Amino acid sequence: MNNPVACITLDVQSDAESLIRRYRSLRDDGTIRRPVKNFTRFDDTGKAIFLAAFELFNHTGSLPRDPSATAILAVDRDGALMNNTAYFENYVQNGRTMGSPNDFIYTLPTSVCAELGIYYGLRGQLLYMSSAEDDLYGFGVGQARTLVSEPHHRAVLLFVNDSDTIQAAFITPQFGAKHES
């Protein structure tokens, strides 16, 4: 049976400024050892996903052992709908004649996860799934378990965005792995 090694849950109702303050605090205390190039461009959910990853790796005390066999799986309910809507509303409110591709790219649900993979040097698969399941975290863990049952995945970094929380888990095929929340 595949169990999460660790699970971190973060509230994402925070505004962008408080997420940036949290990022700076983690930089100051050494949890984040080098800057994240595009952190300020991420939406609040993207910022929270990165912070969850930092806290997850800090909590477990290590990074994935085999970057080429570590997949990233992101799961949420609405795909890019909320981000695209916010981007378009900003576009309309500010009277722009052309949207910015530098901002638009971060409305895609895989962009932040791709940045996360680059930051940590992960070279496994990057997958995104949207689901209406009642237990979205359980759905995500089930999908991650399927991935680690395949011989080319030794671990899955899972992010579940459900309403106002981000749950991050490091899933491995180790029997009896400890599940913390």
State the Cα–Cα distance between residues 123 and 9, nearest whole angstrom: 25
Note whether 168 and 3 are within 8 A (CB): no
Q: In this predicted structure, what is the pLDDT of residue 66?
A: 81
Structure confidence by residue, pLDDT tens digits, 38-49: 888 888 888 888
Q: 3-class SS at 131? A: coil
Helix intervals (H) in the chain: 16-28, 44-60, 81-93, 101-104, 111-120, 136-148
Q: Please, what are the averages of pLDDT over each run of 10 residues along the chain (181 residues)?
A: 62 76 91 87 85 84 77 86 67 64 65 88 89 92 89 88 85 55 37
Closest CA to 5 of 149, 144, 165: 144
Pairing of strands 70-76, 126-130: parallel
Share of the chain above pLDDT 90, in %: 17
- Domains of the chain: residue spans and CATH: 3-172 (3.40.47.10)
State the Cα–Cα distance between residues 166 and 10, nearest whole angstrom: 5
